[in-house]
Each structure stands twice: as structure tokens, then as C-alpha cells.
Structure 1
Amino acid sequence: MQEQPDVPFPPGLTARVELTVTEADTAAAVGSGDVPVLATPRVLALAEAATVAATAPGMPAGSTTVGVRVELAHLAATPVGRTVVAHARLVEADGRRLLFTVTVTDGDTTVASGRVERALVDRQRFVARAVRAS
């Protein structure tokens, strides 16, 4: 198997993504609870979207990143209609391994914080392996 070359994603890369919470984003809607507030799975998806956005400008052709590990503390409830912002910062790049810190905020309130680890992979080989494994 051919090694994926090291790609220079310098620590310090950042990105932010926003979400205005709708009924479809609530715990009741996604099945992670029965309350009408931003669901933890949606918080995680937003945090991951920020990590993807941070590397997108420098992504080599044919490559992508995939999530491999997440540590997330969901700290505050967010009602429908509020806008949350996910911030990702690349803190470590070790070959194909990329480690981000993430925070999700609602104004001055920290909604969630944690770490997301992603791996740089060849998109075509990754998909082919997944199909063979199923």
C-alpha cells in the first residue's frame, strides 16, 4: 500500500461555521432526547464541519479527512432560533493525524468544547475499502 505523503497543514489553521437552530436540529427531532433544544449530535456535526472547513483550502486533490476520535462536552442548552458558532483550531499535525480543539458558542456562552481528531486519507482508496468491507 502506498503511503500518503505528508501534507503541510500548519498548526494554527482555524475556521468557523454557524448554525441557526431549527426544530429539525433539536434533541426531540434527531432522537437523542425529548427536549426542544439543540441536540448533542448536531453540536458534534457542527464542530466537525468547522474542522473540515479549516483544512479545505489546503486539501490535496484526491484527498479528504475522516473523523477518528471525538471528545466533546455539551455544556449549555440552546433553544430554537438562536445562532451558534463552531470554532475549530488545528493544534497538532503529525503526518496524516490532525488534532483540533473545538468550541461552540452562543454569544458569550460556551455551548460545547472538546477535541476532534481527523486523519488525512486518499478518498478513492478509503471508499473502496469501505465498500469491500461491507
Structure 2
Amino acid sequence: MLFSSGPVVPAGMDHVYRHWHIAPAVKVGDFLICSGVLGQHPDGTIPEDPATQFTLAFENLERVLAATGAVLAHVVDLITFHTDLQGDLDAFTTVKDQFIREPYPAWTAVGVAQLGGGSAVMPRVEMKATAYLVDAR
């Protein structure tokens, strides 16, 4: 059953499930609750350029959504965590507007001291999303 409850582990993200014991997303009824995604390449490296990180974060979120047939238009709630909220907000919003179209989801942006990732380059953003899957069928 395509939209039954349980973990969602897109191809290439099984290491997250096995190593970190985190599902990239979990289906619960008609909703997909996504874990935080970083702006990293598939090999886990994080680019230094903030705009590239932001673009990769949205592309990685798209990969998680696609595993259930969903797209960014199905996102109803977006929470973003920023290590330099004031400094990066304009650049992040510019990238976000390339990916997120009307009707816009609820969005909360939070400034934080540090994000995970284990990379030599500090992640500047982590995004967590909830998507409504009924329209994805």
C-alpha cells in the first residue's frame, strides 16, 4: 500500500537509517513527516557556499518527498534552522522562492548555534517538513 504508515528511506539514504537510526521520513496516515535535511552532496560533503547549501537542501528534501510520490507543493509546514539567520535570510529566501510556489506552506525560521552533519564545513541550514499526501496519489 503506497501510503501506509512506516519509515520512508529513499534510495541512497539507507545509511542514514542504518548508521544514525533515523528515518529520512515517516508516513503517518495522509501525512509525511520528514526528518531534517542538510545542504549536502550525496557523499555527505557540505559545500562552503551558502546558496549552494540551500539549493542542495531543497533538492534533498525533494528526494525524500519523491519516495512517496510527493513534491514540494505537498509541503504544508516547513521549519528551517539557520546558524546565521540574519546573515543568510535574504540568500535563503531567494533560493526558497525558486523551489516553493503558491500556495505557500506555513514556514518557521529558527536561529541556532550549531547543526549536525559531521562534515568539515559547518551546515548553515537544516530543513524539516511535513507534507500532505492525499493529493500525491
The question of a shared fold, defined as TM-score above 0.5 by the shorter chain, is answered with: no
Structure possessing the higher radius of gyration over alpha carbons: 1
TM-score, with structure 1 as normaliser: 0.35
Q: Which has the higher helix share?
A: 2
